Amino acid sequence: MYRVLIQTGSIECDEYTHTDYGIELYDEDQFVAFVPYENLLAVVDETTKSAEDRAIL
């Protein structure tokens, strides 16, 4: 599970794909949203157990 942080809040998704202009978010293989890189603050992997293992892309 990933949490995508944007300027107005956050969106949860199971997977995401990088494109030329942003990321496409999917939940259970269904398209959820497209987030342009200009609006993207961070992608956080929610499955990590500790802050030391957590990576922000």
Q: Which tokens belong to 2?
A: 């990933």
For residue 28, the SS3 value is: coil
Q: Which tokens belong to 30?
A: 């269904």
Q: What is the pTM of this model?
A: 0.79
Amino acid sitting at position 50: S
For residue 35, the SS3 value is: strand
- Give pLDDT, residue 46: 81
Number of H helices, E strands in the chain: 0, 6
Residues 6+ apart with CB under 8 A from 29: 14
Total residue length of the chain = 57
User: pLDDT for 7-57, tens place per residue?
Assistant: 999 999 999 999 999 999 999 999 999 999 999 999 988 876 666 655 555
